[in-house]
Amino acid sequence: MSAGDPIRLVVALSVAGMLAVFVLYTSIAGGATPSLRPSQLAGHHGNVALVGQVVGPVHGDAEGTGMRFDLTDIGGGAAVPVVYRGSVPDLFAVGRHVFVSGRLHDGVFVAKPGSLVTKCPSKYTPAKGGAA
Amino acid sequence: MTVLPLAVALLGLAAIVAFVAAPLVRRGSQGSAPADENLPVLERRDRALAALRELEFDHRTGKITDADYRALLGRLRTEAAEALQAVGPAEGAG
Amino acid sequence: MAELGRDALLGTLALALYAAVVGGYAAARGHRALGQSARNALLAAFATTAVACGVLVLAFAREDFSLVYVAQHSSRELPLPYALAALWSGESGSLLLWLLVLTGMSAVAVLCNRPLVADVLPWTVPILGGISAFFVLVPVLAASPFATQAAPADGAGMNVSLQNPYMLVHPPLLYLGYVGLTIPFAFAMAALASRRTDERWLHATRRWTLASWTLLGVAILIGAKWAYETIGWGGYYAWDPVENAALMPWLAATAFLHSVMIQEKKAMLRVWNVVLVSLAFCLSLFGTFLTRSGVVNSVHSFSRSSIGAWFLIFIAIAAAFASFLILTRLPTLRARSRLESLVSREAAFLYNNLLLVAFALTVLWGVLFPIVSQALRGETFTVGPPYYDFFLRGFGLPLLLLMAVGPLIAWRRASVRSLLRGLRWPLVVALAAGAMLLEAGAGSSPPGLLAYTFSVFVLGGIVLEFIRGTRARKALGARTWPGAFVSLVGRNRRRYGGYISHAAVVMLAIGIAGSSAYSSSASARLQPEQTISVAGYSLRYDGTTFHPGRNHDELRAHLAVFRGGRADGIVSAGKNNYHVESFFSNAVAIRTDWLRAQDLFVIAQQFNRDGSVDVKVVVNPLVDMIWFAGAVFLVGSLVAMWPDAREKRRHPRRAFAVGIASA
């Protein structure tokens, strides 16, 4: 790149400026949601993504009134009751690690419909780009 | 079952060592490659000729106005002529 | 057998280190015989890696569960093709395949470019050797695929979501794409190290870059199709970190492919090009790091493994090495001309580069955001699809617009008037199409409407380019119109191949916009004979069947499809029960309406005891354009890559001119 080319400098600076604004915009205006473990959940009442381990028993009906289960930190700890409606992924089971997003409501984590995602069990180490 | 892999491994090892060492045994290296002062000149020539062709085609397909075409043509022709001259008579034909 | 595999890997390690160390010494001292010896070591490293891979594949074929890796990733009931593909279903096997591809490509690259870059090659060998040495160090030290155990009766089986034909092609293609980016990087670094920063490294690596870019793109699309068909949520791309990991180097490589052309035409952007090729390489390494380290929560990477740190160190080394070489060689990379006008083809290329790199970096920022926020605020924040969608629109729509305008601008300098004259017809067609779409109700999604209007604009421009070019060729003496067309494409394969790829990107945009902005879905609990309706389809639930099988049992709900009151066949969606893995997976039903490129997507979410079934039905308009785009993309790349006799004639002459053709 020739240092004396003012046009290029202008273009680069304007794009860099645009980028900076966009990034600031998204990080301030709440494009991001906090990702928490169940033990950190107390006190958060906004939208969060919860990462934890499923503890049984799982009861209820995800298609009807809602499926209920508890989530603890991976490795154990305090449990948070979760109610979820929507499609249940293949890998969902007691003991699995899952993400779910939603918000805390009177001590119960009410999940957004369809937000449940399971992590693969540790027994498998899927190929890179495995099941997308 | 224990002898066979060992034999295969040893055989493979010998072949690899021979293959890697071959250039060292077969001496007669001529030193490193010569410098390439001429190369930028050749690149400049090819670039100038390509630019002329490109301009011609852009003009024919109507991407450039006649006025712009004439202005650029003169300049690019001068550039190409200079580049050809710099390359010298042997390679100039391009 | 396992010993043979281990020995072969150790052999690869020794050979790669030899190529790196001895090759580096030979290149620095200009010692030709040593350099050739190092090159031979690099070739031999491919042979030993092939032996190691062969041992592992054979172990899978023979169901040799005394190898821990085989036992963990296969079982007696697993069908043979999957048993063989199990080579890359786990971490250490994937690394082995990666190494095989890397050494194989290195061997081909140093063999087939000899005359053109004979004075750069001595440096290419040690760089490729060093990279190979890293990739063999990891399986040797941290994750050996040849660890043995007392053989259990049966293996643990393969992850069920991997038991899919896409598994056979997606990972190898992805590796080919990732690893292929190593070759241009190695040549660029070698050109810098040897201070031969002329254009030859670009010529030597152009097809490598194009090929790996194509493979990476196709692999991403195949991965998307895989996700679409097996995961069963109705989508194909979820901005998961691991998906992004492949997208980022693809974007960087796309930018590189474009900026290379400016360097060739104008001898500009020479620093930018080496930066881009290094960025693409580092991003491909970073992709592997992401999948392997478990630092970022992803649907893919759950095995927290120790090799993440290795990759981080290696990325740091590679980035430092590249930066050092670029900075110390800056004087040799001075541009030989300037940008003449902000309205010119090269300026359009420049904007395209800035947008592509900006998009790649925003994706990178999104992927890194959880780590950065954890470090700065002590709390992990993640950014979701809305973030990425925002930037996809923010950068993607201008890119589409540039794609329409760029090809129609003249090089060097274009007056706005001639540009507008050239754009007249595409603009008219696009505005007409936009108005028609608005009338048809596409205004429900402004970004979708915009994407469609721009897409028509691009397509109009491409068609116009082909028409004008053919007409010019005809005027220059081609006899027939088809003859003129063939001669047009044949004389500039890169340009017209590129236009075909542009058409593919437009199709992709149409597919993405259609399926994301205009899809509709419904879900319901159906008793037998009940129906569910969505977007012109009605489905009647006719009952459930159960088929036991050797590897898995199949439970299916059958639904009769009606469109406009007419019966339109039966779809069967359900679940598979895999025995060894003791696991249920969704088997979705997809019915494609080829004429409209529209999919009816049916998921049987849950089978209830009372005989009812919970189904979700999604109608994805235009989603099949995405897969068509893959085919068109491939055609475009092949046209651009096709050997060109005139180019071949010119390059050896340049090599001859510097007195190295005899080497």
**B33 and C18 in contact by Cβ < 8 A?**
no
Which chain A residue is nearest to residue C74, measuring alpha carbons? A124
Test the C interface: residue of B39, B49, B91 with most C CBs within 10 Å? B39
Percent of chain C at pLDDT > 90 equals 36
pLDDT at A31: 58
* Joined tokens for residue C412: 């060097």
**Low-confidence winner among C162-166, C176-180, C504-508 (lowest mean pLDDT):** C162-166
pLDDT digits (tens, 9 = 90+) for C397-437: 999 999 988 888 888 777 777 788 888 888 999 999 999 98
Percent of chain C at pLDDT > 70 equals 94
Q: Decide: C614 and C605 in contact? Cβ < 8 Å.
A: yes
pLDDT at C602: 92
Chains A+B touching (3+ CB pairs under 8 Å): no
- Helix or strand holding residue A111 (H, E): strand A108-111
How much is the average pLDDT of C31-55?
93
Which chain C residue is nearest to residue A124, measuring alpha carbons? C159
**C198 and B36 in contact by Cβ < 8 A?**
yes
**C219 and A129 in contact by Cβ < 8 A?**
yes
Give the single-character DSSP code of A112. P
Higher-pLDDT residue of C129, A85: C129
Residues 32-91 of chain B with CB under 8 A from chain C are 32-36, 38-40, 42-44, 46-47, 50-51, 54-55, 57-58, 60-65, 68, 72, 91
- Quote the minimal CA–CA distance from A63 to chain C in Å: 7
Phi and psi angles of residue C515, each rounded to the nearest 5 degrees, phi first = -80, -20
Q: Decide: C125 and C19 in contact? Cβ < 8 Å.
A: yes
Distance (Å, rounded) from C-alpha C29 to C-alpha C51? 33
- Quote the minimal CA–CA distance from A115 to chain C in Å: 11
Size of interface B-C (CB pairs under 8 A): 131
Residues of B in contact with C411 (CB under 8 A): 51, 54-55, 58
pLDDT score of C524 more than 50: yes
pLDDT at C210: 94
Which chain A residue is nearest to residue C337, measuring alpha carbons? A2
Residues of A in contact with C354 (CB under 8 A): 11-12, 15
pLDDT digits (tens, 9 = 90+) for C387-406: 888 888 888 999 999 998 88
What is the Cα C33 distance to its own chain's centre?
39
- Quote the minimal CA–CA distance from C44 to chain A in Å: 27
Q: Decide: C400 and C509 in contact? Cβ < 8 Å.
A: yes
Helix, strand or coil, per DSSP, at residue C529: coil
Residues of A in contact with C269 (CB under 8 A): 1
Instruction: Give the number of C-alpha atoms closer than 13 A to the C-alpha of residue C161, restricted to the C-beta side.
Output: 27
Q: Which chains touch A (3 or more CB pairs under 8 A)?
A: C
pLDDT at C280: 94
pLDDT score of A30 more than 70: no
Using CB atoms within 10 A of its CB, is residue B7 exposed (0-12), middle (13-18) or buried (19+)? exposed
**B51 and C119 in contact by Cβ < 8 A?**
no
Average pLDDT, chain C: 86
Residues of B in contact with C656 (CB under 8 A): none
Beta bridge partners of A118: A98
Helix, strand or coil, per DSSP, at residue C357: helix
Give the single-character DSSP code of C410. P
pLDDT digits (tens, 9 = 90+) for C333-357: 887 777 777 788 888 888 898 889 8
Using CB atoms within 10 A of its CB, is residue A20 exposed (0-12), middle (13-18) or buried (19+)? exposed
Q: Which of C90, C358, C386 sits opposite A19 (nearest CB)?
A: C358
Q: Which residues in chain B come in under a pLDDT of 70?
A: 1-2, 27-38, 88-94
Concatenating the DSSP letter of every residue in chain B gives --HHHHHHHHHHHHHHHHHHHHHHHS-----SPPP-TTHHHHHHHHHHHHHHHHHHHHHHTTSS-HHHHHHHHHHHHHHHHHHHHHH-TTTTT-
pLDDT score of C510 more than 80: yes
Residues of A in contact with C268 (CB under 8 A): 1-2
**C408 and B9 in contact by Cβ < 8 A?**
no
Residues of A in contact with C232 (CB under 8 A): 87, 90
Test the C interface: residue of B2, B16, B53, B66 with most C CBs within 10 Å? B16
- Quote the minimal CA–CA distance from A27 to chain C in Å: 9
**Low-confidence winner among C15-24, C253-262, C416-425, C591-600 (lowest mean pLDDT):** C416-425
pLDDT score of C160 more than 80: no
Which chain A residue is nearest to residue C341, measuring alpha carbons? A7
Tallying the residues shown for chain A, one arrives at 132
How much is the average pLDDT of C460-482?
88
- Quote the minimal CA–CA distance from C320 to chain B in Å: 28
pLDDT score of C456 more than 70: yes
**A132 and C268 in contact by Cβ < 8 A?**
no
Helix, strand or coil, per DSSP, at residue A69: strand
Specify the amino acid at residue C159: N
What band does A126 get if pLDDT is binned at 50, 70 and 90? Answer: very low
Which chain C residue is nearest to residue B40, measuring alpha carbons? C198
pLDDT at A27: 60
> Token pair 């010569």 is at which residue?
B34
Instruction: Give the number of C-alpha atoms closer than 13 A to the C-alpha of residue C271, restricted to the C-beta side.
Output: 17
Chains C+B touching (3+ CB pairs under 8 Å): yes
pLDDT at C79: 86
- Quote the minimal CA–CA distance from C204 to chain B in Å: 15
**C391 and A87 in contact by Cβ < 8 A?**
no
Distance (Å, rounded) from C-alpha C482 to C-alpha C484? 5
pLDDT digits (tens, 9 = 90+) for C224-272: 998 888 776 777 888 888 888 899 999 999 999 999 988 888 888 888 8
**A132 and C584 in contact by Cβ < 8 A?**
no
pLDDT at A132: 30
Higher-pLDDT residue of C58, A31: C58
pTM: 0.88
What band does A7 get if pLDDT is binned at 50, 70 and 90? Answer: low
How much is the average pLDDT of C657-661?
43
Concatenating the DSSP letter of every residue in C226-295 gives HHHHHT-SS-S----HHHHHHHHHHHHHHHHHHHHHHHHHHS--HHHHHHHHHHHHHHHHHHHHHHHH--
